[in-house]
A and B are shown apart, each in its own frame.
Chain A
Amino acid sequence: MPVVEATALCGARSSIQFIAHDPAADLAALGPLAERCGRFSPWVGWDTLGGRGAADWQESKFAGLTLLESPSALLLDIQGIVSHFGDEAAFASEVQREFCSAGYEVVLGLAETIGAAWALAFADEQNFPETSTNNVRLSPPLNWQQLPIELLRLLPETTELLHRLGVMYIDQLLRLPRQELPARFGSLLLRRIDQALGNVAEWVVPYRPVPKWEVERRLDYPLTRRDILEEILQQLLSQLGALLRQQDLGAMQLECRLAGEGKSLRLEVGLCRPSASPQRMWELLRLPWERTPLVGPIDRLELRVLRTGRLSSEQRELFIDLHDTSEPHDLIERLTGRLGKEAVGRPLLRAEVLPERSFQVRSLTGGNVARTVSKDRKKPKPAATLFASEDPQPPAGWLPWQRPLTLLPPRAIQVRCEPGGAPLLLGWSAGEEEVVRSWGPERLETGWWRGRTVRRDYYRVETAAGRRYWLFRNLVTGEWYWQGSF
């Protein structure tokens, strides 16, 4: 449901917390769960609304993951397997116990086809009064054709279009002329209907875990000397680099763990370009290493590559052009290595009314998956393309003086105004400044869908001293705030 609806349900005083959905994090967590299901079936995979399955999952391809491509369920082919667990109920119970131990609550749907099983798992419980127990749906309800069309794994825009035409349930959809469906709604709709009914075959495409690129060294006795630990780390980097080069891969995100006596230390570096060079990886790893104190004697060292990339995409220059004006990757990696991924990035403009929300900073290393904060499932938009992807531009019509170059957290200020509302006198703590010119008001207000409404009238003012500030009056409270300087 929308945020504003959730807030209204919980009440204004509730301590509700909103966390942006991260499809990439969900996908990263799904892999290990799929591996756990390996004891129940040799064929474990998933499907998405957009039709991308587990076979398409490669780390390098999932930059810019959207909700449309985010798996919502695991699929297990259990043909010929259930009997080893007794019956379907016992099998389902075992699966639930496995997920419960991992901290998850699951709803299971067992059916003859993937489409039917998916529909069972996602249908409301009220549709299964007799056959459903403890979130296990072993057979479809008698009135399954009166289930909503969303259970057919349709694309959101297809569902919306059908709703506008008054088609809400499966039986209504089945009464439509079949031959006209592809032309009006695309080929996927007909395929989903046939998959649910079992008219076309559908298989579980198994998930194959990505090889783990990691090396480890356990010491015979704990060490505290940093120079020796550095030597060992560099040896491990050489081993890791050799492993990666065999597959023509390079590291884009590297994790280093040092542990001993129950304590551990974790370092992480990101790269702009894949690299299997031990020297390069050490040059970046050394930056956080030098600034991090040891937690105690170390008896285990691990290096793990969290994200890889093809080495063949790396530009190999025989002579480095010092006047190369392309992206300074080395600088970005060094800055990120020492300051952290959150401290280095590229500013991106956002189509937000409030100035403090009108931009974001995106990290440039680690094969960072672009977070797509889309509240509209029907039209997912990667944040980086809200404006022109090559060179984001401010809104059309903006003049250079439109916004201050220094934006501050709003600070309360005393202002004497004209009857029309324009500022006349600014009251600072150290004295007053007369306003000789002002431009405004420019009204900025958020929509109701953003939750609590923010309404501000902004003024650009010039004082007798020639200084210019950006002020606003909160139209709800009437108070004045200083938010920027030109």
Chain B
Amino acid sequence: MSTNATVELLRQQLAARETPPAAGEALVVPSGCEGFDRFLPDGGWRRGSLVEWLIPGAGSGTLAFALATAKTLWSSGSVVIVDRRREFFPPAAAAWGLPLARTILVRPANEADERWAWEQALLAPGVAVVWGTLDRLAPRDFRRLQLAAEAGKAIGFVFRPAERRGEPSWSHVQLQVRPTASGPTRTNERQPDRWRWQVERTRGSGGRNKIEVEIDEAGNAREVTPDERAVPVRPISPVADSATCPFPA
């Protein structure tokens, strides 16, 4: 059998093993940003999967980016925030559209309880999104979470330090978000706020693996066109990695 035929046969077997979506429920949920959807491997957020976000240090805006592109998920169930470090700030999340009335905030005391809470939340019916930071995650535990997400049909947004890139991962898609400075001048005057990121997909099949996205002050995301990319903005400093900021994300 040729290589191509073998690959096709394996692909069909994998597709046959996939659990079909429930009637009336879409397996893939668009993010609300067309360009970003084209960038994602499934054309949107895939239910029953883990999305791994690599954070290059504090202040990178990764959480904001994730919230802006996850708005379409809130209506389909409860949101579970696993916040062991107790850094989650509900008023800010509410301003981004997170429905606090359907949010469950879990604050485990240690990493073992944290991983257990993640697994329980991913398995539970009625949960749309599980959200939180997981710094250290052994491959075996990562696999358990992936299986839990598949069984429960929730989407897990797992935020991890960028240093974890290259480690074994069971996420369906892995994204690294790097901010770019939004304006060339220093001013204290009131200006429309916008923030741009270069997003790199480091895991997950599909077409291109880099995209530039901008979010305006109302929290709406859009892809930055090639023409706009040609406008000189302040480039990312070569030392703008997590090492420059002594505080973890």
State whether the Cβ of B234 lies closer than 8 Å to any Cβ in chain A: yes
A466 touches B243 (CB 8 A): no
State whether the Cβ of A112 lies closer than 8 Å to any Cβ in chain B: no
B22 touches A399 (CB 8 A): no
Partner of A430, one of B127, B219, B240, B243: B243
B50-92 toward A: CB 8 Å interface, digit per residue (1/0)?
0000000111110110011000000011101000000111111
Among A325, A393, A422, chain B packs the most CB atoms within 10 A around the CB of A325
Contacts of B95 in A (CB 8 A): 394, 398-400, 402-403
Which residue of chain A is the closest to B128 with respect to CB atoms? A325
Partner of A403, one of B89, B113, B127, B179: B89
State whether the Cβ of A359 lies closer than 8 Å to any Cβ in chain B: yes
Q: Which of A313-338 contact B (CB under 8 A)?
A: 320-328, 330-332, 334-335, 338
B218 touches A438 (CB 8 A): no
Q: Which of B85-134 contact A (CB under 8 A)?
A: 87-97, 99-109, 113, 116-117, 120-121, 124-128
State whether the Cβ of A222 lies closer than 8 Å to any Cβ in chain B: no
B178-196 toward A: CB 8 Å interface, digit per residue (1/0)?
1111110111101101011
State whether the Cβ of B246 lies closer than 8 Å to any Cβ in chain A: yes
A391 touches B99 (CB 8 A): yes
Contacts of B121 in A (CB 8 A): 331, 335
User: Cα distance A392–B180 when bound, in Å?
Assistant: 33
State whether the Cβ of A390 lies closer than 8 Å to any Cβ in chain B: yes
Partner of B245, one of A361, A364, A404, A430: A430
Partner of B89, one of A406, A422, A436, A439: A406
Q: Which of B196-249 contact A (CB under 8 A)?
A: 196, 217-219, 234, 236-237, 239-240, 243-247, 249
Assuming A343-B107, A430-B246, A436-B234, is B67 touching A420 (CB within 8 A)? no
Contacts of B195 in A (CB 8 A): 401, 466, 468
Assuming A339-B113, A405-B64, A430-B245, is B101 touching A392 (CB within 8 A)? yes
B126 touches A403 (CB 8 A): no
State whether the Cβ of B18 lies closer than 8 Å to any Cβ in chain A: no
Assuming A335-B117, A485-B58, A486-B64, is B236 touching A355 (CB within 8 A)? no
Q: Smallest distance from the beta carbon of A136 to chain B beta carbons, Å?
A: 50
Contacts of B234 in A (CB 8 A): 436, 464, 466
Contacts of A326 in B (CB 8 A): 126
B244 touches A431 (CB 8 A): yes
Assuming A349-B91, A420-B188, A437-B187, is B109 touching A339 (CB within 8 A)? yes
B105 touches A346 (CB 8 A): yes
State whether the Cβ of A243 lies closer than 8 Å to any Cβ in chain B: no
State whether the Cβ of B25 lies closer than 8 Å to any Cβ in chain A: yes
Contacts of A437 in B (CB 8 A): 181-183, 185-187, 191
Which residue of chain B is the closest to A465 with respect to CB atoms? B240
A468 touches B59 (CB 8 A): yes
Q: Smallest distance from the beta carbon of A370 to chain B beta carbons, Å?
A: 15
Among A392, A462, A466, chain B packs the most CB atoms within 10 A around the CB of A466
Which residue of chain B is the closest to A484 with respect to CB atoms? B89
Contacts of A393 in B (CB 8 A): 94
Which residue of chain B is the closest to A330 with respect to CB atoms? B124
Partner of A404, one of B77, B92, B193: B92
User: Cα distance A331–B152 when bound, in Å?
Assistant: 12
State whether the Cβ of A248 lies closer than 8 Å to any Cβ in chain B: no
Q: Smallest distance from the beta carbon of B135 to chain A beta carbons, Å?
A: 14
User: Cα distance A433–B241 when bound, in Å?
Assistant: 12
A403 touches B181 (CB 8 A): no
A328 touches B127 (CB 8 A): yes
Which residue of chain A is the closest to B184 with respect to CB atoms? A436
State whether the Cβ of A348 lies closer than 8 Å to any Cβ in chain B: yes
User: Cα distance A436–B184 when bound, in Å?
Assistant: 8
Contacts of B247 in A (CB 8 A): 411, 428, 482
Contacts of A349 in B (CB 8 A): 90-91, 94, 100
Assuming A394-B94, A402-B92, A405-B63, is B181 touching A464 (CB within 8 A)? yes
A447-462 toward B: CB 8 Å interface, digit per residue (1/0)?
0000000000000001
Contacts of B219 in A (CB 8 A): 399-400
Contacts of A358 in B (CB 8 A): 91
State whether the Cβ of A174 lies closer than 8 Å to any Cβ in chain B: no
B193 touches A439 (CB 8 A): yes
User: Cα distance A390–B101 when bound, in Å?
Assistant: 6
User: Cα distance A331–B178 when bound, in Å?
Assistant: 35
Assuming A323-B125, A344-B106, A466-B181, is B116 touching A338 (CB within 8 A)? yes
Partner of A325, one of B78, B104, B106, B182: B78
A327 touches B186 (CB 8 A): no
B236 touches A465 (CB 8 A): yes
Contacts of B249 in A (CB 8 A): 406, 485
A377-407 toward B: CB 8 Å interface, digit per residue (1/0)?
0000000000000111110001111111111
Among A355, A469, A486, chain B packs the most CB atoms within 10 A around the CB of A486
B181 touches A323 (CB 8 A): no
Partner of B64, one of A355, A361, A400, A469: A400
Q: Smallest distance from the beta carbon of B8 to chain A beta carbons, Å?
A: 32
Partner of A348, one of B100, B106, B117, B237: B100
Q: Smallest distance from the beta carbon of A146 to chain B beta carbons, Å?
A: 51
User: Cα distance A355–B63 when bound, in Å?
Assistant: 18
Assuming A399-B95, A400-B96, A436-B186, is B117 touching A406 (CB within 8 A)? no
B240 touches A324 (CB 8 A): no
Which residue of chain B is the closest to A432 with respect to CB atoms? B244
Contacts of A440 in B (CB 8 A): 188
B59 touches A463 (CB 8 A): yes
Partner of B100, one of A331, A346, A408, A422: A346
B63 touches A406 (CB 8 A): yes
Among B90, B101, B121, chain A packs the most CB atoms within 10 A around the CB of B90
A-B pairs, 7 with minimum CB distance: A467-B59, A465-B240, A466-B179, A347-B90, A403-B92, A331-B124, A407-B89
Q: With contacts A393-B94, A404-B89, A486-B63 known, what are 14 further pairs, Cβ within 8 A?
A: A335-B120, A339-B106, A349-B91, A349-B100, A400-B218, A401-B217, A430-B244, A430-B246, A438-B186, A463-B181, A466-B178, A466-B195, A466-B236, A467-B57
Where the two chains meet, the residues of A that have a C-beta atom closer than 8 Å to any C-beta of B are: 320-328, 330-332, 334-335, 338-339, 342-349, 355, 358-359, 361, 364, 390-394, 398-408, 411, 418, 420, 422, 424, 428-431, 433, 435-440, 462-469, 482, 484-486
Q: List 24 A-B contacts (CB under 8 A).
A: A328-B124, A328-B125, A331-B80, A332-B104, A335-B117, A338-B113, A338-B116, A343-B108, A349-B91, A355-B91, A359-B89, A361-B107, A402-B95, A404-B89, A436-B185, A436-B234, A437-B183, A437-B191, A438-B186, A438-B188, A462-B181, A466-B234, A468-B61, A484-B89
